[in-house]
Amino acid sequence: EKGGYDYFMLKEIAEQPQAIADTLLGRLKENGEIVLDEVRLSDQDLRDVDKIFIVACGTAYHSGMVAKYAIEHWTRIPCEVELASEFRYRDPVLDRSTLVVAISQSGETMDTLMALRHAKEQKARVLAICNTNGSTIPRESDAVLYTHGGPEVAVASTKAFLTQLVACYLIGLHLAQVRGIKYADEVAAVVAQLQEMPDKLRELLAGIEPVRDLARDLKAAPTVLFIGRHVGFPVALEGALKLKELAYMHAEGFAAGELKHGPIALIDQGTPVVCIVPSPAGRGMLHDKIVSNIQEIRARGARTIVIAEQGDEAVTPYADHLIYVPRTPTLLAPLVTTVPLQVLACEIAAARGHDVDQPRNLAKSVTVE
């Protein structure tokens, strides 16, 4: 059943290239146009959208955080992302020209479902991104984009996260195309890059072995910190969440720019810090900023685990451990930078003797508050 893997989680990590290929299947036309046929909203409806709210929980919320960077950049539509459990109990400003995007692997998460109902009561249109056909969240939404990631058995979400990211990119690109866009060339380039992602992920997974050795080294650390900027920030949060839920270790993710506003005080001799470094080719400034953050924490004793793009030599002097990922445009980078963090959490948990697929106190589908 586990296809030769020790855990469902490792099997599902390995399935990610195919899972994202399946999310893309039939949705990209040869001319670069994006077709989203299950989205039962007319082009006019999509042109009328003047605000987007993304609501989700846990890992799905992290995919929504990444989506905000992409959607605002490509479409110029203001986009907020909020935890469903917060959104549903406050008084968000919504109306019929608001598009609410509810992201849920299971389609049954109570808080996300209630957030969706709360949005519908205020006449907003709701689009679900979901992995489970016919589940409650897509049934109650105006439109749905299924991720087609296949069943996810391990409690910790892996391939669902990557396919949620792809679905969010598709929605952002589709909105940009329908509304007529400023960045037409960039959008066409992104479409081409998305099509290359399954191969890039295969390449990344083929070289993942060193992460396993690193996991054995880190298994006794009292805490592991994660830092990132821009789309690397939600990746840092996701890396920390995976480690908490699987290895039962203290872990925290930070926006690297926040370090000196408090968290840098946590850095002690030997504190492991996983640093998500953006491509030097994309937004050069972002890359340089994080390199200087890495220097700062290292000067204070941190043991740095650097996730950087293949060929990025600027980081080598400051990396105690360096993990290269394939070259990817900045906005799509979470599709590759997340993968070593999934493997790291899985292997640390296994090295500590935990049940990787069924972590204590957690359920796959959270249908209660």
Interface residues toward ligand F6R, by CB under 6 A: 57-60, 104-106, 109, 112, 156-157, 241, 245, 365-366
Q: Which pairs count as long-range contacts for 280-285, CB under 8 Å and 24+ apart, including other chains?
A: 280/309, 280/312, 280/314, 281/309, 281/327, 282/329, 282/330, 282/333, 283/230, 283/330
Rounded Cα distance between 143 and 133, Å, is: 13
Give least dist CB 160 to ligand F6R, A. Answer: 6
- 364 a catalytic residue: yes
Nearer to ligand F6R, 165 or 277 (CB): 165
Give least dist CB 283 to ligand F6R, A. Answer: 28
Rounded Cα distance between 283 and 158, Å, is: 27
**Catalytic: which of 120, 244, 289, 364?**
364
The count of residues in the chain is 369
Which residue's C-beta sits nearest to ligand F6R? 58
Nearer to ligand F6R, 73 or 250 (CB): 250
Give least dist CB 237 to ligand F6R, A. Answer: 11
Nearer to ligand F6R, 9 or 94 (CB): 9
Give least dist CB 135 to ligand F6R, A. Answer: 9
Nearer to ligand F6R, 316 or 367 (CB): 367
Where in the sequence numbering do the catalytic residues fall? 364
